[in-house]
Amino acid sequence: MRLPIIWGAALVALWAPPRARAQQVTDVRVRDANGQFDLWIPTPKRPDDNYTNGAQLFIGVDGALLWGRLFARHSPACARATDGADRRCASSEIRFGQDMYTPRSALTATEPVPGERPYAGWLYLAETGRLATARRSDAVTLELGVTGRPSLAEAIQTNWHSLIGYPRALGWTHQIPFEPGILVAYEHRQEVWRVRVGDVPIVSLVPAGNVSVGNVLTGASVGMDARVGYAATTPWTSSERRHRKPVALYALAGAREDWIAYNLFLDHSTTDPAVHVDKRSWVTQYDVGAGARLWMLELEFRGITRTREYATDRPTEPYAVISVGWSGGW
């Protein structure tokens, strides 16, 4: 993994030290997004630019933590919630991550090329507070981070490419400079269709909506996700999780439309207005994949394709996400 996990553990400890240890940790996951995981594309043709890498560490906690307490303080933790599809319970998720962005000419040009996106790194810490039932999820996220050299994107990508013998990106000295960032987001998801065979769910259809505001990203999105398979349930934490099957195997598919009012990594940075491209305000994303769970071990693969994000971008940008996790308590 390209994410230095020790950094994540240290910052998580600073974020909510006493409460996270006092409440039950329910999930731990690592996830990496990269064009080199595009298994459907021949290896020499897989992209390693634009959204070049995104690594994340997730820690799920039963009950409301710091941010979640603002709107979920009166709801029980999911481990203590009474059963029932309409019983709301509270959970939280701490996420530490790093995103890297590079232009298409990263391996050939030392100076910025007009029309290409800038180099950028984003190192962040986020907390999500969630109120959920078996079929509905409402979540509010607060994300804080930094761009520029403190994001460590240049150092980590350069060292990784050196380790694996891959050519070095040449223009990191022109990355978007240091800037603190903040993002607040609200997401609503509601399962509208579920098919069961006996007591085993085999189809789950979930539309979703999201609104985000901040100097990192301001915009909104609407979409739909579907899961089909054995024990294909909704992915969020709720009281129903205690009764889920020990084995799950499912295919997944989704589509969404993004409206982007401001994107720090495409529009000009507030500290360097000269670095920007002609951003597209509407971007479509679709994805397909599969997932499996064996008792507490979870594995998911998702291939994602996004349409053009700026005027001189490729018509589509593919990348894939691999997620591995341990779910069920520590």
**DSSP element (H, E) containing 11:** helix 5-15
Contact (CB, 8 A) for 128 and 93: yes
Residue-level pLDDT, tens digit, the chain, 330 residues: 344 443 444 444 444 444 444 568 888 999 999 998 998 889 888 888 999 999 999 999 988 887 667 766 678 888 766 655 567 888 999 999 999 999 999 989 998 888 899 999 999 999 999 999 889 999 999 999 999 999 999 999 999 999 988 899 999 999 999 999 999 999 999 999 999 999 899 999 999 999 999 999 999 999 999 999 999 988 885 555 656 788 999 999 999 999 999 999 998 766 666 667 899 999 999 999 999 999 889 999 999 999 999 999 999 999 999 999 998 755
Domain count of the fold of the chain? 1
| DSSP helix/strand/coil, 150 | helix
CA distance 258 to 39: 25
Query: The domain containing residue 122 runs over which residues?
Result: 5-327
Q: pTM to 2 decimals?
A: 0.89
3-state secondary structure (DSSP) of residue 172:
helix
* pLDDT value of residue 57: 98
As a whole number of angstroms, the distance between CA 231 and CA 31 comes to 22
DSSP annotation of 177: -
Q: Measure CA 275 to chain center.
A: 25
Q: Provide the pairing of β-strand 200-214 with 217-230.
A: antiparallel
What pLDDT score does 151 carry?
A: 97
Euclidean distance between CA atoms 36 and 43, whole angstroms? 7
| Cβ contacts of 298 within 8 Å, gap of 6 or more | 29, 291, 292, 323, 324, 325, 326, 327
What would the two tokens of residue 328 be? Answer: 């069920």
**Interatomic CA distance for residues 206 and 238, integer angstroms:** 15
Secondary structure letter of residue 165 according to DSSP: T
Phi, psi at 161, each rounded to 5°: -65, -35
| Cα 142 to Cα 36, 92, 149, 173, 239, distances in angstroms | 30, 12, 22, 30, 24
Q: What is the DSSP string of 42-76?
A: -GGG---SEEEEEEEEEEEEES--TTTHHHHTTSP
Residue 136 one-letter amino acid: R
pLDDT at position 18 is 46
Report residue 112 as tokens.
């910025």
Cα 154 to Cα 121: distance, rounded to the nearest angstrom? 7
CATH of the domain at 193: 2.40.128.140
What CA–CA distance (Å, rounded) separates 122 from 118?
Answer: 13
Given this model, what pLDDT does residue 240 score?
A: 58
List, as one string, the DSSP characters of 91-104: EEEEEEEEEEEE-T
Gap between the Cα atoms of 234 and 221, Å rounded: 19
Predicted confidence at residue 9, as pLDDT, reads 45
Q: What is the CA radius of gyration of the chain?
A: 20
